[in-house]
Amino acid sequence: MSARLTHDGFRRLLEQVREAGYALVGPTISDGAIVYGPIAGADDLPIGWTDEQAPGRYRLRERGDRAHFGYVLGPQGPRRQLTPPVETLVRIRLGPRREQGPRTPEGVEAADEDGEPLALIGLRACELAAMAVQDAVWTGGPFVDPRYARRRERALIIAVDCLEPGELCFCVSTNTGPGVEAGASFDLRLTELGEEFLVEVGSERGQALIDGLGELAEPSTAQLFAARTQGVLAAAMELHGRERQLDLDGLPELLFANLDHPRWDELAARCLSCGSCTLVCPTCFCHRVEERAPLDAPTSERVRHWDSCFTDEHSRIHGAQFRPQIRERYRQWMTHKLGAWVSQFGTSGCVGCGRCIAWCPVGIDITEEVAAIRAAPVAPDDAEPVALPPATTVPALAGDPMHPQLARVVSVREELREVVTLAVEPVGVFSHAPGQFNMLGLPDVGEVPISISGQAGGELLHTIRAVGAASRALVALEAGDRLTLRGPFGSAWPLAELRGHNVVVIAGGLGLAPLRGALREMVAHPERYPSVRLLYGARSPEELLFADEILSWDRSIRFAPTTAPAVLESGHVKVHVTVDGAAPGWTGHVGVVTKLMRRKPLSAHARYLVCGPEIMIRFVLRELETIGVAQDQVWLSMERNMKCAVGMCGRCQYGPHFICKDGPVFRWDAIAGLLGREGF
Amino acid sequence: MAARPRLGVFKLASCDGCQLTLLDLEDELLAIAAAVDIVHFPEASSDMDPHGRFDLTLVEGSVSTPAQLDELRAIRAQSRTLVAIGACATAGGVQALRNFADHREYVRAVYATPAYIETLAQVTPIAAHVRVDFELRGCPIDKGQLLELISATLVGRRPDIADESVCMACKRAGQVCVTVAHGQPCLGPVTHAGCGALCPRFSRGCFGCYGPRERANTEALADHMQAEGVSAASLVRRFRLFTGWSEAFRAESERHDD
Ligand SMILES: Cc1cc2nc3c(=O)[nH]c(=O)nc-3n(C[C@H](O)[C@H](O)[C@H](O)COP(=O)(O)OP(=O)(O)OC[C@H]3O[C@@H](n4cnc5c(N)ncnc54)[C@H](O)[C@@H]3O)c2cc1C
Ligand code: SF4
Ligand code: SF4
Ligand code: SF4
Ligand code: FES
């Protein structure tokens, strides 16, 4: 179906869209730029104006005609409307103030307000491509963000072909333009040809609008079609002949093989780490989640803000900052956008719009940077594997993954100084596998990832060390209190795969907690796990976690302080414990866990599970390498900053992986190329 | 009922503007007053009790005299959480500009009896002398951020005040970049956010009131500005404003000052 519209017909079309109850969003002139935002009708369009763009430079210019869409792209696209820069996720009703400890939650309400559906007017081919990328992020599964999904599903899309591409466009390289393809996701597609529009219908909604125009929608003509084809072709040819191209061929491999290229240092000398490129890019999606609770407010809000891999907090966890340097941040942006994206979402993250080039305050040009690395790669034949399957795939959660349930603390057990185990009773059936984690939180304070350290009947155990604001508040909870819980998330220890094998578990410090569920399973089933050895290291005897339980697994070990343990007779479990620093009365091993590994001959054929501080994991792996253990026999658990736990906030990225959903448990070979590398 | 948390407010060398922000919180002040005992607040009342312990102490102003240094140490000793508020307390403020010159000459020029004026050789931010738990930036501070700081500290939450560039706030606000669209020099990329990109919202480049952000690449920005025609003298003036004595801005202005 198609039609031909004059300017009057087009004006009426927009009126009709508004009458149908849509909020019009389109290009309009504001602050010396053509910005994408609310408009009242056709008069608000930048009629007769165009933009001139260069790296770090954007200017408006009058065209001398009445073109409605005679410009290219403004600073931000519809990402702003579909994932607002600041958005409330849920509202949590707060309990009364207490003498000690934080306020606890009393109820959770969804915060999504269904406003008018959006009519997104004037979207270019690259913007439709970007929207498809955003669809994959927010709705591509296994988790779906209902806020995005709803806005996107209701939105009416009026797309426009590009016949006059801008100076910075390179959509031909990325195969995302300049013409809007017939199969793309639009309701109507416009081609502006002189004083007329050729309209192609893409949906029933679109057809109804055209039908509603009556006589104003004239039949399209063969000439108009020919003019469109010619125009799009000419634009494509022009783009093709330009110097600015982005060669996507083998780009992920090229970038990941050149993580130490000198170009990153050169870039760091120019890049301000301001984050502008990420916030104008139509495909970036990183965000943070913060708690907002004014002093006397009865509710606390969990709010999502646009964030960027150029900020400090993005890659910070308690006690570590993984990307302190600008070179590492720029490298994250580029290796994600043009590399890791492909394995995460099956497509490049760049749609060739040129926004990051125009709106970089110092005019850094991503295509130039790629070309420089391509021209002189430092490690051309040594590409590291980028696309690898996650350790274990997990079933999706139904419903809003950001909407927590209110769980009840049944008991609190003090394990060590500043470490407690909360036994938490979730609402409804809750099934998890050892190694997975939950997001535990309190209104007023926030949410943090905590591994499930075991299950006792219907109660989930979480062993938590108080290190900062959120963990301290969780540790301060008392039996009967409620908290917010989302989960379970992430991959699990490969218990099924371990059956019949000799298993060695190596844990450091609190790293024993995520392993306890798996250990309990193996201890209880000698017929499945013929030999299980635990090598456990802690800083001092007072820092030994679950000491009584460990003793109960292996009667032969002795270390102080001992209590009389319940003894398991099977004898298939051996436990070795070491402490970094000796103390009076300590009769066990002294030294780090790798030293213990050398003392206790380990088999090259066993299966290994490793969890603890990252530095310890790396030393353990080095040790395993020397005894000839293959990478596909080892699993380990990783930690990074996490805000969503469902692959949407972007914070936990580790090269091609999201640690929250592809991990936290990885088989060693999946991440071997990145482990220990600065900046990841 | 446990004792309510005690909030102390103190000032050193400053203009009182930041303390006034607290009074400016009109609507919210009642809630704050209901949640805490405001113990020492020279700007609001003459009935003060500078002795005893404070759960949260806000200190405005920089250290300019030996007496202020003593006072600051005493305040620190009495405070559980000490927050430096404003450009003076966090970076020295405008008065720190005297550090770039010979301050004795200023004293002679300004005061009739210079012998009475006892000053330290340099005006310094609070963190140069005592441990500071949090720095709330700005000249003056932003009232929304102040409220968040107080609310968060009282419940033990980390305040939602990110150390990020003004560009981040500017882009979230949907503001058109003044550098890119109007060719205006702007310190936003190297400046700590907090003002909500106030100047860009009025089509002006950022003046850097909130001081440098982490990883402020002032050198790259200054080089770019210079290539766009900004003179060395103008660069010195730009980096030498309210937060000119902060390390990053000071080093940058000195690079262009000969
Ligand atoms: C998969 C996974 C499982 C974990 N399991 C446990 C566990 O069983 N027991 C336990 O005590 N701790 C566990 N942690 C670490 C725990 O999440 C952090 O100690 C906690 O987030 C610190 O938050 P905070 O507010 O107390 O500290 P702050 O230092 O004030 O943290 C500020 C913010 O930084 C982020 N952050 C800080 N540290 C981490 C971190 N290590 N991981 C992710 N985000 C972080 C959070 O967003 C937090 O809100 C786990 C982390 C991950 C990623
Ligand atoms: S990386 Fe740059 S050119 Fe590519 S889609 Fe993002 S903003 Fe556009
Ligand atoms: S990590 Fe990726 S999605 Fe997130 S801001 Fe950086 S480039 Fe964009
Ligand atoms: S590339 Fe440009 S826009 Fe992106 S962070 Fe660096 S200076 Fe800012
Ligand atoms: S993407 Fe948000 S925590 Fe992994």
Contact across the interface for B157 and A312, Cβ inside 8 Å: no
Ligand 4 near A366 CB (within 6 A): no
Residue whose CA is closest, atom 5 of ligand 3? A308
> Are both B139 and B203 inside the same structural domain?
no
Question: How many other CB atoms are there within 10 angstroms of residue A306's CB atom?
Answer: 22
pLDDT of residue A565: 39
Looking up tokens 């009025």 gives: B202
Q: What residue type is assigned to position A190 of the chain?
A: L
| CA-based R_g, chain B, Å | 19
Domain closes at, from A444, A466, A489: A489
pLDDT of residue A382: 54
Residue B60 CB burial class (10 angstroms; 0-12, 13-18, ≥19): buried
Residue range A70-91: average pLDDT? 96
Query: Which residue has the least CA distance to atom 1 on ligand 5?
Result: A647
pLDDT value for B24:
84
A543 assigned to some structural domain: yes
Instruction: Using pLDDT thresholds of 50, 70 and 90, give the confidence band for residue A587.
Output: confident
| A592: three-class secondary structure by DSSP | coil
A242-279 residue pLDDT tens: 999 999 999 999 999 999 999 999 999 999 999 999 99
- Label residue A381 by pLDDT band (50, 70, 90): low
Final residue of a structural domain among B155, B188, B205: B155
Count of domains for chain B: 2
Q: Is the pLDDT of residue A566 over 50?
A: no
**B149 and B178 share a domain?**
no
State yes or no: pLDDT of B42 exceeds 90: no
Checking if the pLDDT of A563 tops 70, the result is no
Q: Are residues B25 and B113 in the same domain?
A: yes
According to DSSP, the β-strands at A405-416 and A482-489 are antiparallel
Average pLDDT of the residues in A107-131: 93
**What is the DSSP track for A561-591?**
S---PPPP----EEEEEEESS--TT--SEES
Per the CB < 8 A criterion, the answer to whether B253 and B236 are in contact is yes
Within A194-248, strands assigned E span 196-201
Q: How far, in Å, from the CA of A334 to the mean position of ligand 1?
A: 27
Domain count, chain A: 4
User: pLDDT, tens digit, for every residue of B116-134?
Assistant: 556 677 889 999 999 999 9
The region of weakest confidence among A117-126, A136-145, A382-391, A576-585 is A382-391
For residue A293, report the distance from its CA to the centre of ligand 3, in Å: 28
Domain that holds residue B37: 6-155
Asked if the model's pLDDT at residue A389 lies above 50, the reply is: no
Q: d(Cα B18, Cα A213) in Å, to the nearest integer?
A: 59
Residue A215: DSSP 8-state:
G
Atom of ligand 2 nearest to the CA of A355: 7
**Looking at the structure, do residues A289 and A422 belong to the same domain, yes or no?**
no
Average pLDDT in the A319-342 region? Answer: 96
- Extended beta strands in B86-199, E state: 134-136
Which one of A443, A469, A489 terminates a domain? A489
The band of A557, judged by pLDDT with boundaries at 50, 70 and 90, is low
Q: State residue B156's pLDDT score.
A: 82
- B182 shares a domain with B128: no
Q: Domain range spanning residue A363? A: 251-375
Domain boundary among A375, A390, A414: A375
A33-47, A97-111, B55-69, B126-140: which has the highest mean pLDDT?
Answer: A33-47
From the CA of A435, the nearest ligand is 1
Residues with Cβ within 8 Å of A389's Cβ and at least 6 positions away in sequence, in order, are: A670
pLDDT at residue B158, as a whole number: 84
Same-domain status, B23 and B72: yes
Element (H or E) spanning B107, and its range?
helix B103-110
- Judge contact between B211 and B246, C-beta under 8 A: yes
Determine the residue among A92, A273, A316 to mutate to test chain B binding: the one whose Cβ has the most chain B Cβ atoms within 10 Å: A273
Nearest CA-CA distance, residue B38 and chain A, Å: 15
Shared domain check, B213 and B232: yes
Closest CB to A80: pick one of B35, B174, B182.
Answer: B174
Strand order in the sheet with A196-201: A2-6, A196-201, A188-193, A156-160, A118-123, A23-30, A33-38
- Residue A84's pLDDT is 96
A166 versus A564: which is more confidently predicted? A166
One domain, residues B232 and B144: no
pLDDT single digits (tens) A488-539: 999 999 999 999 999 999 999 999 999 999 999 999 999 999 999 999 999 9
CA–CA dist A42, A69 (Å, integer): 11
Instruction: Say yes or no: B100 and B24 in one domain.
Output: yes
For residues B102 and A668, the model is more confident at: A668
Indicate if A440 and A580 belong to the same structural domain. Answer: no
Instruction: Judge whether A437 and A487 are in contact, CB under 8 Å.
Output: yes
SS3 of residue A680 by DSSP? coil
* Interval B230-235 mean pLDDT: 96
Residue B221 distance to chain A (closest CA, Å): 7
